[in-house]
Amino acid sequence: MSSTESPRPKPGIMDIAAYVPGREKVAGVDKVYKLSSNESPLGPSPKVTEAFAARNVDLAAYPDGAAHELREAIARAHGLNAGNILCGNGSDELLGLLCQTYLAPGDEGVFTEYGFLVYKIQILAAGATPVSVPDTDLTANVDAILAAITPKTKLVFLANPNNPTGTYLPVSEVRRLHAGLPKNVILVLDAAYAEYVRRNDYEAGIELVSANANVVMTRTFSKIHGLAGLRIGWMYANEAIIDACNRVRGPFNLNALALIAGAAAIGDRAHVERAVEHNEIWRDRVCTALEELGLAVTPSVGNFVLIHFPQTAGKTAAEADEYLSARGYVLRRVAGYGLPDALRMTIGSEEANLGAIAALKEFMA
C-alpha cells in the first residue's frame, strides 16, 4: 500500500458543481426577506402544530421506516394507492434515489437546459453521464428531448412547472414526450410546484403514472405546504419502481416529526387553497409592477418569477442583486443555470413583495 496516494472520489464526483442554496443572510443587514428559495410565505398549516401538540413523540425510538401513516394520508388526499407511494427526505432524496437505482456508469440521464440543477448532480453522483437538452424560449422542447435519447438513456427528468423559469408543458406535450420514449426509459415528472398551477391544460402526472410502468411523479412538502425545514417529499410510481427504490433507500429516511407533520399538512386543503390564492394575487401584482419598471418577466405558473435585467452597466442582474440584498431583499441569482442576466424572485408576503418592488424601482430609476 502506497502512503503517498490520497483517497480519490469515484469518477464523476469531482465534475459536480455543488448545489448553491438560496441565501438567507446578508452581512450587516438585520431584517432579511428571503425570496430566494421558493418557500411559502404562509408557512405550514396550523394542523401541523396541533398534531405535534397532540402526539407524544418518543425521540428515542426509530420512526416508522415504511411511513405508513404519511403514505396513507397522501393516498387519501390524492385518491391513490398507498402501495404506489414512496416518501423521501425531501423530493431531492427521491431524485437521487432514482439515479442510484437506475443509472450505472455508461448510462445517460437526460434533463433540460434550464432544468433544476439537482438532476445533473445526482446523475453524476451515480457515475452516469448527464445529457443537457436545449430549451426553446426557456421552455422544455419535446422534440429536442426525444432527439437526445440513445440506447444508453435510462432516465429523463422534466420539472413541470420548471424551476427557475416558471414555464410548463401542457399535458398533451408531456404525453407526446412519453409516447416517444422507449419502454425501458423512465420519465421522471418533478411536480414540485403542481399545486400552484391553475391551467386547464396542465396535469401533474398522476394519470400518466397510473397508466404506465415507466413514469414517476415526484412531489414535495417544501413549497405549497410550507415545510421545507422538515424535508418531506414523495413519489408516485408503479410497484416495480417502488420496490427497486425501497431496496436502496435508507431504512428510516424520514424523521418522526416529518412523518407527523406531513400527514397533518396534506389533509388541510383550505390551507393549500389559501397559499394558492395568495400566490395568484401577488404573482400578478408583482409581474405588473416589474413590467412597469421596464423589466421583462417570463410568464410563470409557479410561486416565483424569473426577472430579466438589461446588460447596461449599472442595471445588470448582479448589480440589482447587490442593491436589493443591501436593503434586505434576497432574490436568487441564476447564473449557475446559465441565466446570468436574470434573478428569480419568490412570491413572498405582501410586505416582502412591496418592499422588493419599491427597492427595484429605486434601482431602475
Interface with ligand PLP by CB under 6 A: which residues?
Answer: 38, 90-92, 116, 159, 163, 190, 192, 220, 222-223, 228, 233
Shorter beta-carbon distance to ligand PLP: residue 77 or 293: 77
262/17 Cα distance (integer angstroms): 31
d(CA 225, CA 37): 14
The CA-atom distances, in angstroms, between 14 and each of 125, 128, 323 are 9, 13, 34
CA dist 157 and 364 (Å) reads 37
Residue 197: all three cell numbers together: 398551477
Identify the residue whose cell numbers are 405550514: 44
Least separation in angstroms between CB 156 and ligand PLP:
15
CB nearer ligand PLP, residue 133 or residue 192: 192
Q: Which residue's CB is nearer to ligand PLP, number 71 or number 327? A: 71
Cross-strand bridge partners of residue 346: 304
Shortest Å distance, C-beta 291 to ligand PLP:
24
Q: The C-alpha cell of 154 is what?
A: 435510462
Residue of minimal Cβ distance to ligand PLP: 90
Nearest to 221 by CA among 21, 36, 19, 39: 39
Closer to ligand PLP by CB, 92 or 321: give it.
Answer: 92
Q: Which is nearer to ligand PLP, 116 or 309 (CB)?
A: 116
The least distance separating ligand PLP from the CB of residue 54, rounded to whole angstroms, comes to: 25
330: left (phi over 0), alpha (psi -120 to 50) or beta: beta
Instruction: Quote the least distance from Cβ 361 to ligand PLP, whole Å.
Output: 28
CB of 22 to ligand PLP, least distance (A): 10
Please report how close the Cβ of residue 77 comes to ligand PLP at its closest, in angstroms. Answer: 17
Length of the chain equals 365
